[in-house]
A and B are shown apart, each in its own frame.
Chain A
Amino acid sequence: MMTEFKQLFPLQVGRVHEACGPGAVAFAAMVCGQVDARVLWLQVGWQTEQLNPMGLVQFMSPKNLVVAQAENHTDLLACTEDGLRSGAANLVVAEVTQTLDLTAGRRLQLAAEQGGSTGILVIPEGAGSNATQTRWHCSPIFRGNHKSEENLTLQHWQLIKNKTGTLNNWKVCWDAKAHRVIVVSEDGE
């Protein structure tokens, strides 16, 4: 039996999930938007790509967002762990730039369980750790010329790791009115 989108999304609370691919940041933004909660967003300070609150607004209110810039990879992971453990932020998003080993992944997983918050790690492709609950590969896709609606969020989400079930992939987009992710089509249809 194929895994249903509903079973996995919104993401399981108290676990750490991973997202990679060119649409990974959008994935994190959509998850935050659907939950509509306090978000701690961690980055490494030297990163030139910054989050734009004016673009984020269609997913979630930047009011609920706290952005932290760590100096290096170790600090970033330590801050992520602290954030997950305290439970003060319902979602902790960390933009990881290096490969995660199993120890780091497991520590984050334990911290998330303890604090009851959800972690999303935006990772470079192939840099995830085995301790993650789910891993998603996200890439934007062109909506086609015939569609006239102003939805610029069509994405292809591939579930490439799942601890509790089989893999699958979907085409999804963000519905700004309903404020949630909707499945446009199961892939293969």
Chain B
Amino acid sequence: MPRRIVSLWFPRMASDRILRSHPISAPFAVTSYEKSTERLYCLNSKAIRLGLAPGMGLSDAKALCPDLLTRAADHYADDRFLKLLARWADRYCPWVGFDGHDGLLLDVTGSTHFFSSEADLLGDIHERLRSYQLNVRSGLAGSIGGAWAVSHFSKGVVPNGQLKAALSQLPAAALRLDETTCATLQRLGLRTIGDLLATPRATLGRRFGLPLMRRLDQALGEQAEQINAVAPDVSYAARLNFPDPIGLYDDVAAALERLLQRICEKLKTQEMGTRVLLMTCQRVDRASVQVELRLARPMRDAATILPLFERSVREVDAGFGIDQIRLEALSVEALPVKQLDVGGAQAKQNDALSDLITRLGSRIGLDRIKRFQVADSHIPERSFIVSPAAYCEAEGEWEVQNGRPLRLFSPEPIDGREKSPPTAFRWRRIRFSVAKATGPERICPEWWLDDPDWRSGVRDYWRVETKQGRRLWMFFTPQNPAWFVQGEFA
């Protein structure tokens, strides 16, 4: 089937977008800051009729036309608007791509027969866009370049086989060339595409290089060109409205189950899993209650997620009743389909532990559940990393290291300024007498990290066994003579 492409060009999109919501009959322009001054960027028809042109400085324009109304350009909003139009264009064909910031390309191959003729298709597009108060120019041809040329410099349908004839009439600028090339072609007297086609290819190639030849071939459909279709945004959200307000836990849970199934189905087709789910309950009194569930691993199994929701849903204050529930997956991650038995019992246990972490996280916060990970440091407090269990794996090789206490706390001062360990001391209101002291083990502060706890300088660590039984980890700071207890052995 021969290829058929529609090119749509919205020559006044920026101003049309604003005037759609605030229709005015006065001259209007959208301005943007370019070349160190405020310039006209997009004008309505009335402003053009008054002799204003895009690119003109705003102050000049104001001098020509004192009652000109202006608005600053918002390129992001324009792009968003074009995205909306691309979604709208889905009604004509499934393959829609952007053409710069003010045009769309539709691959209507095989979908023109829904209209009586191709001209009717264009007519339908024009009619609908006119009702949306948008100016549009269109062209339908057998190639992207051809359709673009027709939409920008002519209009209507070019039947297959007549593309060359139709394009011959159009100026060389219709080939999507840059300004300098256009100017050079003008100067050489090659005004139309027909002139270019009549010139031997070898001469053209030698003079203008590959870009011109490529554009020429693309316009005639002799060289392939792709439309990059806009990927559809998948939103993982579902909503349920109730004819009568609900308030019982069972009802909310049943509604939640239905919503979850809908979202999970979507997640499954996209091979994604969710990390954060947000349930919003709209109450009859216009208040809304939000419940957030943070999962310890990406999931998409409704039956597993639902029981994890239970605790927070029970805490929801339904007030006079809930008449709408919305569920949204706020954060999604790729979760490829996996064969079921690969991990075996180990994987099942891991999943059970993740579910437990989620359950505890819904009560005390997911970031308060932690795992230890190996770190490379001699400083006792920094010889390990504590990281949230939901976002890290249990890994790393721990080496058995003698002489490290089981419990660690911030240093607690005791009496004594001597270099050798005291024979008796008081710690936490208990008197201890030292039976044996092993040490010292000198640990220097890491000078490249400024740790306020280590400002007192190097530390000589001692393993002190007391006659009372308790084994303490004490240190002496020779640079500021003092003794501290920092840990307790088993």
Contacts and interface: CB of A to CB of B under 8 A. Distances in A.
Nearest to A70: B364
Contact of A69 (B364, B384, B436, B463): B364
Contacts of A54: 380, 383-384, 401, 404
A63 B394 contact: yes
A29 B465 contact: no
A177 to B, nearest CB: 11
Nearest to B430: A22
B405 A53 contact: no
Interface string A39-61: 01000010011111111111101
Contact of B356 (A25, A65, A86, A141): A86
A65 B372 contact: yes
Interface in B341-399: 349, 352-353, 355-357, 359-360, 363-364, 368-372, 380, 383-384, 386, 389, 394-396, 398-399
A57 B409 contact: no
A9 interface: no
B399 A140 contact: no
A145 B435 contact: yes
B10 interface: no
Nearest to A53: B372
Interface stretch (B53-61, B178-186, B466-474): B466-474
A55 B359 contact: no
A125 interface: no
A82 B469 contact: no
Nearest to A155: B490
Of A62, A71, A78, which is in contact with the most chain B CB atoms at under 10 Å from its CB? A62
Contacts of B303: none
A182 interface: no
B402 interface: yes
A174 interface: yes
Contacts of B395: 63
Nearest to B490: A26
B490 A55 contact: yes
Contacts of A156: 469
Contacts of A26: 406, 489-490
B339 interface: no
B487 interface: yes
A83 interface: yes
Given A29-B490, A142-B466, A79 B436 contact: no
B400 interface: yes
B334 interface: no
A53 B384 contact: yes
A62 B372 contact: yes
B410 interface: yes
Given A26-B490, A79-B363, A142 B465 contact: yes
B407 interface: yes
B398 A53 contact: yes
Nearest to B467: A142
Given A48-B409, A142-B465, A152-B463, A66 B471 contact: no
B489 A152 contact: yes
Given A67-B370, A70-B364, A58 B400 contact: yes
Given A142-B469, A143-B465, A152-B463, A75 B364 contact: yes
Given A82-B359, A140-B470, A152-B489, A49 B407 contact: yes
A118 B398 CA distance: 25
Interface in B105-120: none
Interface string A101-145: 000000000000000000000000000000000000001111101
A12 interface: no
B394 A64 contact: yes
Contacts of B210: none
Given A25-B407, A50-B408, A153-B490, A66 B363 contact: no
Contacts of A78: 363
Contacts of A55: 404-408, 487, 489-490
Given A22-B469, A57-B399, A140-B469, A50 B409 contact: yes
A23 B405 CA distance: 12
Given A53-B398, A55-B490, A142-B465, A68 B406 contact: no
A83 B356 CA distance: 7
Contact of B404 (A22, A52, A143): A52
Contact of A82 (B356, B404, B409): B356
B490 to A, nearest CB: 4
Given A52-B380, A57-B399, A150-B402, A86 B359 contact: yes
A41 to B, nearest CB: 10
A176 interface: yes
Contacts of B435: 142, 145
Of A25, A68, A87, which is in contact with the most chain B CB atoms at under 10 Å from its CB? A68
A35 interface: no
A145 B469 contact: no
A67 B466 CA distance: 30
A70 B471 CA distance: 28
A180 interface: no
A59 B242 CA distance: 57
B370 A56 contact: no
Contacts of B465: 142-143, 152
A9 B356 CA distance: 27
Interface in B451-481: 463, 465-471
Contacts of B372: 53, 62, 65, 67
16 contacts: A22-B470, A25-B406, A48-B409, A49-B409, A55-B404, A55-B408, A58-B402, A69-B364, A70-B368, A75-B363, A86-B352, A140-B490, A142-B436, A150-B402, A152-B471, A155-B490
Interface of B: 349, 352-353, 355-357, 359-360, 363-364, 368-372, 380, 383-384, 386, 389, 394-396, 398-402, 404-410, 435-436, 463, 465-471, 487-490
Given A88-B353, A142-B465, 4 more contacts: A63-B394, A66-B371, A70-B368, A79-B363
Q: Can you list the 4 inter-chain pairs with the closest CB atoms, starting with the nearest?
A: A26-B490, A88-B352, A55-B406, A53-B372
